[in-house]
Amino acid sequence: MYPFSEGSYAVRNAWYVVAFSHEVTRSLMERWILNEPVVLYRREDGVAVAIAGRCPHRHFPLAAGSLQGDTLVCGYHGIAFNSDGRCVRIPTEGRTHSSFDIRKYPLVERWKWLWAWTGDPELADEALIPDHEAINLGRAESPSFPVSYHLVNGRYQLMHDNLLDLSHLAFLHSTKIGVEEVATTRDTVSSGPNWVRSMRLVEDAPSPPAIRERFGDAKLSQLIDFTFYAPALHVGLNRFELDVVTENESPTKVRLIDSIVFHAVTPATKHLTHYFFAVTHNIQDPSDLDNSKVKALALAVIEEDLRATELIERMLQGLDEKIRDRLTAGDTAVDKGRRILQSMMSAEARILNLSIPK
Ligand code: FES
Ligand SMILES: [Fe+2]
């Protein structure tokens, strides 16, 4: 599906954020991942689990059932499953069948969110989750906090495209965090087999409205340094510095804002996406930061991104998928990100074809 080749939807052998930790409790929660319903809950010992969300008997949603201890009982005819997905009771039969067993998804709780593996469980290597220490998530000296979860009415790649082409800051977010110079400064793009980095340093630019409001009108330098860890996470550094020149001293840079943003993007269904947003602030004194204001600004910006995504999804309805979008010089990272995802999907499809006997 657009913008990928026919038959390609999403990378399956991968870890995706499926929930923030605080969302998963002793109440059953349904969340779709890669077009499959999943039910999430915590066992009595606090460990979070993810099992298939559709009852194999009559397809009743298992999240509409109930928990008896750690056992999930379907709310329709009472067939029960343990937290490994094994069927442990069929009331009408007095015995169980392994054909009623349901899928259990490998699930890892790291920092303040849960990563689920959607592919072959044999391949679920935790080392494939981006190294949280390395990406500055959860370090004591730089507090990180979940900001928001959104269910977006659009295919997941529209969110990746959004985050890989940040020239949109200048226009979509012009009343908040964008200035024209962000679009006219070319980004430097580098990449590896499963990551893409886009970095731009915008120097001597006017303050965007949100910065002006807080720190007054001044020329700033802005570093925007984003990395996409395919297929599920974007980590971005936003750094605003003010050049201060004082008499008899060499110019110094005063750091006004230094934050790292985390955008986890998870395909829910073909036209719906889960989006998790979190922030880390590198600050000396956490009381310097008014989190409620930062959060309000972040949410207002996200609202603009989600609206753009939803509007584009609407434009894609009925579009001949052979009509490609046109890319500009600002789309190097977009193009690279798409190619990485396409090659991951194509590699999975090849393995699948090989394992299906002809
Ligand atoms: S649908 Fe679940 S027990 Fe019948
Ligand atoms: Fe944006």
Q: What string of H, E and C letters represents the secondary structure of 77-128?
A: CCCEECCCCCEEECCCCCCCCHHHCCCEECEEEECCEEEEECCCHHHCCHHH
Residues β-bridged to residue 205: 220
Residue nearest to atom 4 of ligand 1 (CA): 77
Atom of ligand 1 nearest to the CA of 58: 1
Torsion angle of C-alpha atoms 33, 303, 331, 169, degrees rounded to 10: -150
**Ligand positioned closest to the Cα atom of 234:** 2
Indicate if the pLDDT at residue 196 is higher than 50. yes
Report the separation in Å between the CA atom of 35 and the middle of ligand 2, taken as the mean of its atom positions.
Answer: 26
CA separation for the pair 281, 288 (Å, rounded): 10
Contact partners, residue 219, CB within 8 Å, separation at least 6: 204, 205, 206, 207, 242, 243
Task: Average the pLDDT over 171-187 and give the result.
Answer: 95
Atom of ligand 1 nearest to the CA of 59: 1
Q: What is the pTM of this model?
A: 0.94
Indicate if the pLDDT at residue 295 is higher than 90. no
pLDDT at 285: 47
Report the separation in Å between the CA atom of 164 and the middle of ligand 2, taken as the mean of its atom positions.
Answer: 10
Q: Which residues line ligand 1 (CB under 6 A)?
A: 55, 57-58, 60, 74, 76-79
Ligand 1 site-directed mutation target among 62, 79, 89, most atoms within 8 Å of CB: 79
Strands 107-110 and 113-117: antiparallel
C-alpha separations of 115 from 1, 120, 260, 276, 312 in Å:
25, 15, 20, 12, 28
Atom of ligand 1 nearest to the CA of 77: 3
Report the separation in Å between the CA atom of 340 and the middle of ligand 1, taken as the mean of its atom positions.
Answer: 41
pLDDT at 219: 85
Indicate if the pLDDT at residue 201 is higher than 90. yes
Task: Average the pLDDT over 85-101 and give the result.
Answer: 96
pLDDT at 288: 52
| Confidence at 25, pLDDT banded by 50, 70, 90 | very high
Give the percent of the chain with pLDDT over 90: 74
Indicate if the pLDDT at residue 35 is higher than 90. yes
Task: Average the pLDDT over 47-67 and give the result.
Answer: 98
